[in-house]
Amino acid sequence: MAWTERDIPDLTDRTAVVTGANGGLGLQTALALAGAGAHVVMAARDPAKTATAEARIRERYPSASLEVVPLDLGDLSVVSAAASTILAAHEHVDLLVNNAGVMAMPPRTTVDGFEMQLGVDHLGHWAFTAQVLPALLKAPAARVVTVTSTARHRALRALDPADPHLRENYGAWTAYAQAKMANFHFGLGLQRRFARAGVAAQSLIAHPGLSHTDLQARSVREGGAGWTGAFFEALTARTGMTPFEGARPQLRAATDPQAKGGELYAPRFGSNGPAVRRPILRRWDLQKQIDVLWQVSERETGIPLTV
């Protein structure tokens, strides 16, 4: 039988933080975790959209335990404030789902001057995870799930420490691929550090395949995705999985008792299919790329991530 959200075990007394919990995959993830009894911290940017998402979850689960924390991953001061709010309210965090992201945008920078896609998809999550880490390490067996994409395979070059923000040669899809590869390396690198430190926390990766969310439409609206964006918007509308289905890989990575740190969960057939564990293709220079990512991330954000 294929794994579904019905296989999520009882999460009563667990605290789960989901970034981008106000729409798409994040909303479906928050909905499923709340339905399983978790206290869900909805960490998201748009207050009106988040209020609508919260109402939707409460309509489905009237007794849902929900909390809203404003989080703009494109502003490190807001990231720090969000992490501080969570640490002040929760001694431990059992699940962190690094889900939020942007895709194929025209040249744009975050408040801190980072290229927007690397800044939001990776560096914002780097800073958030690093600052929530004390609560994760106090949980009996915390999991961090970072959402990547098959677009990472389009990252033909390794992250360049001299130009991580692609100021010399920006391309919307190049930047997205780089950001999603950073998510991939971050998930693996974090697991290696957890294992080396001998802590109970685990880090896993997930990708949703071809899921019909607002991400594709927004990339077209923003004007940076070009004909490729229009093609994928039409393709996902015709053949993509629903957000409900697309969230299953990250939900399985977060909750399946059999899942282990360092694993990747994704649709069985790449773009579609049930959520399964997929093999990780390890390049000969994988550790070097992870080390470069750590160095660049610490230098750019000024925030170390040590376990």
Token couple for 238: 């015709």
Token couple for 153: 């395979």
Q: What is the four-CA torsion angle of 146, 75, 90, 147, rounded to 10 degrees?
A: -10
CA distances for 145 relative to 115, 170, 188, 249, angstroms: 23, 28, 10, 10
Instruction: Round to whole Å and give the CA distance between 232 and 229.
Output: 5
Looking at the annotation, which residues are catalytic? Answer: 176
Contacts 24+ apart (CB under 8 A), 293-298: 293/159, 293/182, 293/185, 293/186, 293/189, 294/189, 295/161, 296/159, 296/161, 296/164, 297/122, 297/123, 297/126, 297/186
* CA dihedral over 228, 125, 98, 24, signed as positive or negative: negative
Please name the residue that has the structure tokens 């990250």: 250
Instruction: Round to whole Å and give the CA distance between 113 and 307.
Output: 27
